[in-house]
Amino acid sequence: MIKTTILRSKKPRLKNPILIEGLPGVGHVGKLVAEHMVDELGAKKIMEIYSPHLPPQVIVLEDGTTRLVRNELYAYKSKKGKNDILILVGDHQSTTNEGHYELTGVFLDIAEEFKVERIYALGGYGVGQLVETETVLGAANNIKLVKELKGYGVEFRPNEPGGGIVGASGLLLGLGELRGIDAACLMGVTSGYLVDPKSAQAVLKVLCKILEIEVDMAALEERASEMEKIVAKLREMEQGQMPASTDEDLRYIG
């Protein structure tokens, strides 16, 4: 395999579809939200995307079978909302810079194929310390979209994130603009050290309002309260006599 390859099942007819991207990233916020939506909405998988720009790796499943790392596209036909939804999830993002450009190009080809006119790229914004608030930071590839999102409580801070937005989320906005596709990034503010289902909840709440859909959050709430117990324990330990390496260890929890 020397090119990115798409395996398709039957192509659904979708009504004004909106594309949600939730590939792995900071605090796995985007991934948590997107996978939760796939589960709760019962979205159907319509594409598998394999690529030499993903790691050369299979994942071992619970029954001992394997599957090649990939990105997946799910479709959800909305019963009452005005937009059907496409959801992009995956095991990994590209391992190289050039690969990010190529894969995002593929994602945008798909968006154009379905006449997607808006993309929400989901992610986390790591601030380097444990976070109490439920802030969702936004950025968008045009000013009209910025204004609209402010109406949903999305926060916009000048020049933030200072390091820009990297990877698939960033390029969906950047390359999307070049193709005339509206795209916004919704970033749950998070420590960056832990998988953060609470921040994911915050992002999902905003997204549900925007999309005019309802998604049961019980599963995500449960994961969030489990994680809160871990965080509480960590705080205790910090106030005790933990060595300086604590923060680094946290990265591996989740």
The residues of the shown chain that bind a second copy, judged by CB under 8 A, are 1-2, 5, 7, 50, 52-69, 94-98, 100-102, 104-105, 138-143, 146, 156-162, 164-168, 170-171, 173-175, 177-178, 185
Q: Which of 70, 82, 8 is nearest to 44 (CA)?
A: 8
Q: Which residues of 170-191 are buried (b: 16+ CB within 10 A; e: fewer)?
A: bbbbebbeeeebbbbbbbbbbb
Measured distance CA(11)–CA(115) in Å, rounded: 13
d(CA 106, CA 116): 14
> What is the distance between the alpha carbons of residues 158 and 167, in angstroms, rounded to a whole number?
20
Q: Which two tokens stand for residue 88?
A: 């992009």
Compare residues 163 and 240 and give the one whose CB is closer to a second copy: 163
Closer residue to a second copy in complex, CB, 78/169: 169
Nearest by Cα to 77 from 9, 8, 11, 14: 14
Rounded to a whole number of angstroms, the minimum distance from the CB of residue 139 to a second copy is 5
CA atoms 108, 109, 111, 115: torsion sign: positive
Judged by beta carbon, residue 14 or residue 173, the one nearer a second copy is: 173
For residue 12, say if its preceding peptide bond is cis, omega within 30 degrees of 0. no
| Least distance in angstroms from the C-beta of 111 to a second copy | 14
Closest contact distance (angstroms) between CB of 247 and a second copy is 19
Nearer to a second copy, 173 or 231 (CB): 173
Distance CA 25, CA 22 (A): 8
What is the token pair recorded at 100?
């990010």
Cα-Cα-Cα-Cα dihedral of 22, 28, 33, 35, to 10°?
70
Q: Which is nearer to a second copy, 37 or 165 (CB)?
A: 165
The least CB distance from residue 136 to a second copy, in Å, is: 13
Other CB atoms within 10 Å distance of the CB of residue 202: 23
In the complex, the smallest distance separating the C-beta of residue 172 from a second copy, rounded to whole angstroms, is 9
Q: Which is nearer to a second copy, 6 or 215 (CB)?
A: 6
Of the two residues 22 and 161, which places its CB atom closer to a second copy in the complex? Answer: 161
